[in-house]
Amino acid sequence: MSAAVGANAPSETISFTELSALLERIFVTHGASAEVAAVLAHNCATAQRDGAQSHGVFRMAGYLSTLASGWVNGAAVPQVEDVASGYIAVDAGNGFAQPALSAARPLLVRKAREAGIAVLAIRNSHHFAALWPDVEPFAEEGMIALSVVNSMTCVVPHGASRPVFGTNPIAFAAPCAGRPPLVFDMATSALAHGDVQIAAREGHSLPSGAGVDRHGQPTTDPKAVLDGGALLPFGGHKGSALSMMVELLAAGLTGGNFSFEFDWSRHPGAQTPWTGQLLIVIDPARAAGNDFAERARELVDRMAQAGVSRLAGERRYQNRAQAQQQGIALAPEHLAQLRQWAEG
């Protein structure tokens, strides 16, 4: 590790390997099994490395308060069920979704390669992270992956007066010839809840149209959204329809809770949504005709010719390249907090 001082904020740098190991120690110290700790730590360090601020180490306090509350089982062992030729279900045992994905992944890949498509339906699970780390690795192996996960009631459906949906992201990854995978990952709410928390902490306003206060009135004050208010879907009725789709696929289909369905009030400190997650993995090698990755490249080239200078995922790839060269920059007080948590 080395000390560095940026233009404004002093920061220290830590390598990806060191950060993963530190986070793993924290998870184990706070009640996660070694297996779960390794998966969550890798996920969280990956998000931090790529500059996904709302789902990197910012989330550690929420993970720890949730583990301490008894709301989630940090040592759950996922039960993988081989349901059909193209369908796998996993009962995550009230544990985290990422270890459930890890447990089912070899079977999912095998089925997708054999049948051309396979579905993974995770239920009884908690997802507190960015979604792109769940899909990007499939595209690195030449496959197309789509995932949805629902969260906690904090989004008012278009035309309604009360929240029903979660922030419900959709992530997609596809291989593209001669460049890293094409990846997007977006909440179906105007903003991720994590970004509202960050805005409140840092004293920033929200963009107009992002949320309402406890009286249902439009507000740009993040504290008003967090204090009994709610978020709105992005894009009005269109984002609202996508959010409904996420509820249906991630919870209705998998057997998980809808975002409005769980009650964590008996677990003060709980922050992780107890819901479900769906992944669909397609092997384009099974498609007749054109090479998919080459076709993807043709599309991207045409987009560039039309003036697109930044694709979804490219900000992360740039951050990743910088972190690989210079390390991951963290504020000294955040790093000190992580080290303190690792001690217990």
The size of the interface with ligand PYC (CB under 6 A), counted in residues, is 9
What is residue 182's three-state secondary structure? strand
In whole angstroms, the minimum distance from the beta carbon of 171 to ligand NDP comes to 6
In whole angstroms, the minimum distance from the beta carbon of 189 to ligand PYC comes to 7
Which listed option, ligand PYC, ligand NDP, none, makes contact with residue 155 (CB within 5 to 8 Å by class)? none
According to DSSP, the residues that pair with 233 across neighbouring strands are 189
> CB of 299 within 8 A of CB of 291?
no
- The count of C-alpha atoms lying within 13 angstroms of the C-alpha of 295, restricted to the half-sphere facing its C-beta, is 9
CA distance 294 to 178: 9
Binding mask 277-316 for ligand PYC (x = CB under 6 A): ----------------------------------------
The yes-or-no answer on residue 237 being catalytic is no
Q: Residue 109 or residue 226: which is nearer to ligand PYC going by CB?
A: 226
| 123 in contact with ligand NDP (CB under 6 A) | no
In whole angstroms, the minimum distance from the beta carbon of 117 to ligand NDP comes to 23
Q: Residue 128 or residue 138: which is nearer to ligand NDP going by CB?
A: 128
Residue position matching structure tokens 């789902």: 55
Give one DSSP letter per residue of 59-115, joined into a string: GHHHHHHHHHHTSS-TT---EEEEEETTEEEEEEEEEEHHHHHHHHHHHHHHHHHHH
Q: Which of 55, 126, 127, 193 is catalytic?
A: 55
CA distance 123 to 170: 17
| 192 in contact with ligand PYC (CB under 6 A) | yes
Q: Which residues of 173-201 are buried (b: 16+ CB within 10 A; e: fewer)?
A: bbbbeeebbbbbbbbbbbbbbbbbbbbbe
| 163 in contact with ligand PYC (CB under 6 A) | no
Options 78, 95, 194, 233; binder of ligand PYC; rule CB under 6 A: 194
Q: 3-state DSSP: the chain helix, strand, coil percent, rounded to 5?
A: 45, 25, 35
The yes-or-no answer on residue 334 being catalytic is no
Which listed option, ligand NDP, ligand PYC, none, makes contact with residue 211 (CB within 5 to 8 Å by class)? none
Q: Residue 131 or residue 145: which is nearer to ligand NDP going by CB?
A: 131
Which listed option, ligand PYC, ligand NDP, none, makes contact with residue 126 (CB within 5 to 8 Å by class)? none
Q: How many helices (H) and strands (E) does the chain have?
A: 11, 13
The yes-or-no answer on residue 291 being catalytic is no
Q: Residue 31 or residue 180: which is nearer to ligand NDP going by CB?
A: 180
DSSP state of 206: P
Options 44, 121, 130, 225; binder of ligand NDP; rule CB under 6 A: 130
In whole angstroms, the minimum distance from the beta carbon of 278 to ligand PYC comes to 16
Chain residues that interact with ligand PYC, rule: CB under 6 A: 54, 128, 151, 167, 187, 192-194, 273
> Which residues carry out catalysis?
54-55, 195
